[in-house]
Amino acid sequence: MEQLIYFDGEWYQENPKLIGPMNHAFWMASTVFDGARVFDGCAPDLDRHCQRLIHSAKAMMLEPTKTAEEVMDLCLEGARQFPKDSELYVRPMFYGGDGFIVVDPATTQFTLAIYQNPMPDFAGFSACWSSRRRPARDMAPTDAKASCLYANSGRAVKEAMDRGFDNAVMLDANGNVAEFASANIWIAKDGVAKTPAVTGAFLNGITRQTIIGLLRDDGIEVEQVTLSPDDINDADEIFNTGNFGKVMPVVKFEDRDLQPGPIATRARELYWEYAKQFPVFTN
């Protein structure tokens, strides 16, 4: 089985047709989602992803039709229908039904997609600078994991791909480093792990928060600071944290060749050990 989609009390193996041109989400982008992972029979931080989904819905003026606990129960119910060795992407969503400009919160709908999506290995990825920027908190709904924010991310990734890279580093409106187009950014310099301070220009990722705690507990110094482009250019290591691959090293940045470094490697090891606390299957 490749995928399961939940909608209105039913599970589907085919992609159901849920919206049309009169739906607010179709033409006004009132859609939020969250992403979680199932791998090695575990679903780390699934509860926090479901809680953030509720927050995102409210930030986008939607009215969640399920609690975080109900969403989590459905995620686990769906994941348990796959083979135990599956590597899954789990994506619950809320979206608007009716409204003109402003969504009618009473028409909020829920759906959930769970599908096979292998975890990437630790071989790493290449990245470059992007000409696109992350908006400030008063320019876009940056306090939500809102689908509308990903249009600019898509443009940044396409720009990078056209140059022969996998991803791009985006600055914020003030010219400071914000994040990769699709994940939080980290560097290591002289044995210290550094990641941009939370300013509202990007989501304070759940995996990011977990890695901060795991590294500090392991005795590695972590700083949340303002990072300049020069900090990235001069870094000993560059890596990301995010739901898709959890921890991934950069092996080429612009014209610099890099190797997966000790801090990124340790962060990944710690996360995989941490994930064991969240088993999906009870027997």
CATH number of domain containing 171:
3.20.10.10
Domain finish residue from 94, 116, 138: 116
Q: Are residues 37 and 75 in the same domain?
A: yes
Q: Are residues 82 and 204 in the same domain?
A: no
Amino acid at 252: K
Q: How far is CA 57 from the centre of its chain?
A: 16
Q: Is residue 203 part of a domain?
A: yes
Residue 283: the pLDDT is 67
Distance (Å, whole) CA 17 – CA 213: 41
Domain count, the chain: 2
Look up the CATH number of the domain holding residue 46. Answer: 3.30.470.10
Q: Are residues 147 and 223 in the same domain?
A: yes
Q: Is residue 21 part of a domain?
A: yes
Q: Are residues 242 and 152 in the same domain?
A: yes
Q: Is residue 20 part of a domain?
A: yes
Residue 56: the pLDDT is 98
pTM metric for this prediction: 0.95
Residue 282: the pLDDT is 77
Contact 248, 120 (CB under 8 A): yes
How high is the mean pLDDT in each 10-residue block of the chain (283 residues)? 96 96 96 98 98 98 98 98 97 97 98 98 97 96 96 97 98 97 97 97 97 98 98 98 97 97 98 97 78
Q: Is residue 92 part of a domain?
A: yes
Q: Is residue 243 part of a domain?
A: yes
Contact 192, 153 (CB under 8 A): no
What tokens appear for 255 in the block? 């014209």
Q: Are residues 108 and 131 in the same domain?
A: no
Q: What Cα–Cα distance (Å) separates residue 278 from each residue in 34, 37, 74, 89, 214?
A: 18, 11, 16, 15, 16
What domain range includes position 163? Answer: 125-275
Q: Is residue 149 part of a domain?
A: yes
